[in-house]
Amino acid sequence: MPKVKPHRTSPSLDMTPMVDLAFLLVTFFMLTTKFAPEETVVVDTPSSTSEIKLPESNVITLTVDKNKRVFFGLDDEKAKVATLQKVGAKYGVNFNAAQAKAFGNLTNFGVPVGQLGSLLSMDADQRKAVAKTEPGIPMDSLNNQLIDWVIEGRKANLALYKKPTYIAIKGDGEADVPTVQQLIKVLQEKDINRFNLITDLENKPVVSK
Amino acid sequence: MAEIQGKADSGGKGGKKRAKKMSTKIDMTPMVDLAFLLLTFFMLTTTFAKPNVMQLTMPVKEKNEDEQTKLKESEAFTIIMGASNKVYYYAGMNSAESKADLKVTNYGPNGIRQVILDRQRVQPKTVILIKPDDKAVYKNMVDILDEMNITNQKKYALVKIAKSDQDLIKASAL
């Protein structure tokens, strides 16, 4: 009588469903991911315990860096180009198609409208080189270009998407308060009273009453 | 690695010579490795893309003076953010005739937070006036607004610092 051999099963397993799932998820995440575009200025935001997330679209970001400069940014490309034409028309500055395209790809900028043309004609490397010397958008009572950008940005976004915009203020931890207060004051004059202050997350401490 | 193939069927002894049957299985391990690597990468990049925000709602400017609500002295509590991370505070109002009792503290958990909590116990209807000094930094402003959130202080307002407050800080030399 032959010996009864134990049935040998190969330890291999069918990985096909797992691979299917993995690739499905990869595809999903690849398509949904929006890579963070390159920032013109580096700001180190302070942290808070707020857990509210910034909405994904229809956001106007006003960046305040530690050198009192204010930068304007709008998330949507089409709305941005429309805003550029409107503000340019108001200040009598014309932009060509190439400049408008470059503006659409720009995250934010911090130059007065008069200098914007030359900034847009630069290539990405040159623009990066001058980023440190950008003076910021003027927002004093004599020359208030910032409010025009915000107002036209809101109008353009509303016309394109029929949705209101959120105003996000991204301030550096070392930015001075008078600049931020001036920014808030300027916006309040146009009845913009809701702001989203961009912060990092920190844990909420337990408070005993 | 994951695939250990059994002995290929070589036809047995003395039998007819058959064509060697090749296994149709391929080793999927490297592919799976790559797939999961990409998966992890994209998962992590998407979650961190959205920043957190703190909502700040400023009061609508009331054109009519009469419709503005007047703040009672007993309910008022002022916090002033000064230079080099100092926080000054006083209860009630401050004017040239009656100087307020100014105290100083810091942004730590045992500093301004305890002050606010103590005040809330004494006067539950407290309204906090937040006055940033010109030398304060934006981080201080966020910190104080965050303390309002932590201590569950509902009524507060961000107002401009008055000349009398600046004089008070100078005079106190804290």
Tell the burial category of B45 from Cβ atoms under 10 Å away from its Cβ (0-12, 13-18, 19+).
Answer: middle
Residues of chain A contacting residue B149, judged by C-beta atoms under 8 Å apart: 48-50
CB-based contact A177 B49, cutoff 8 Å: no
| End-to-end CA separation in angstroms for chain B | 71
State the pLDDT at residue B5: 52
CB pairs under 8 A, 24+ apart, for A75-82?
A76/A157, A76/A160, A76/A161, A77/A104, A77/A105, A78/A104, A78/A160, A79/A153, A79/A156, A79/A157, A79/A160, A79/A161, A80/A104, A80/A106, A80/A153, A80/A156, A82/A152, A82/A156, A82/A159, A82/A160
Query: With pLDDT > 90 as the criterion, what percentage of chain A qualifies?
Result: 0
The mean pLDDT value for A111-125 works out to: 80
State the pLDDT at residue B169: 79
Q: Crossing angle for the helix pair B138-150 and A177-189, nearest 10 degrees? A: 70
Whether ipTM exceeds 0.90:
no
Q: Closest-CA residue in chain A for B115?
A: A209
State the pLDDT at residue A184: 84
Q: Between B155 and A34, where is the model more confident?
A: B155
The mean pLDDT value for A167-176 works out to: 84
B-interface mutation test, from A26, A28, A70, most B Cβ less than 10 A away:
A26
Residue B92 near residue B100 (C-beta atoms within 8 A):
yes
Q: Where along chain B do its domains lie?
A: 72-172
State the pLDDT at residue A32: 78
The mean pLDDT of chain B is: 76
State the pLDDT at residue B63: 65
Residue B86 near residue B106 (C-beta atoms within 8 A):
yes
Q: Closest-CA residue in chain A for B42?
A: A29
Distance set, CA A134 to CA A49, A115, A116 (Å) = 32, 10, 10
| pLDDT tens for each residue of A41-55 | 777 888 888 778 878
| pLDDT tens for each residue of B132-149 | 888 888 888 888 888 888
B-interface mutation test, from A18, A166, A197, most B Cβ less than 10 A away:
A197
State the pLDDT at residue B7: 47
State the pLDDT at residue B62: 66
| pLDDT tens for each residue of B32-70 | 888 889 888 888 777 666 777 888 887 777 666 666 667
Reported CATH class of domain B72-172? alpha beta
